[in-house]
Amino acid sequence: MTRRVFRYVPFTIEQDQTAEPEYEARCVSGDDVECGAESGTHCGPAPVEEWQRKHTQETGHRRYRRNFGDYAVMRPPAGLAELAWANGGTA
């Protein structure tokens, strides 16, 4: 019989500071069909919000689907970092 030992390591989830977050919006205004116009992807919210303002001004559309994406890393406590990597983790 094979035995396994599972140990709890209290990892924290942190935003990966080496990767830029991504912001974007898509116009979902329309009765039967969504407009579908898109802001494109940007590394901050300001250009997306400005696109929304201009799109609303030009079309009168006022409903948007906003998306935010980022990358996350799992970090073990400082004292357990080496143990966590030795047991199958990757840096």
Higher pLDDT, 17 or 8: 17
Which pTM was predicted?
Answer: 0.70
Digit-coded pLDDT (tens) for 42-78: 999 999 999 999 999 999 999 999 999 999 999 888 8
pLDDT at 17 over 80: yes
- Cα separation, 19 vs 47, in Å, equals 18
* Residues contacting 80, CB < 8 A, separation 6+: 9
Task: Give the type of residue at 32.
Answer: D
Mean pLDDT, residues 21-40 taken together: 96
Higher pLDDT, 81 or 79: 79
Return the SS3 of 78: helix
Neighbours of 75 (CB within 10 A): 13
Tokens of 43: 């590394």
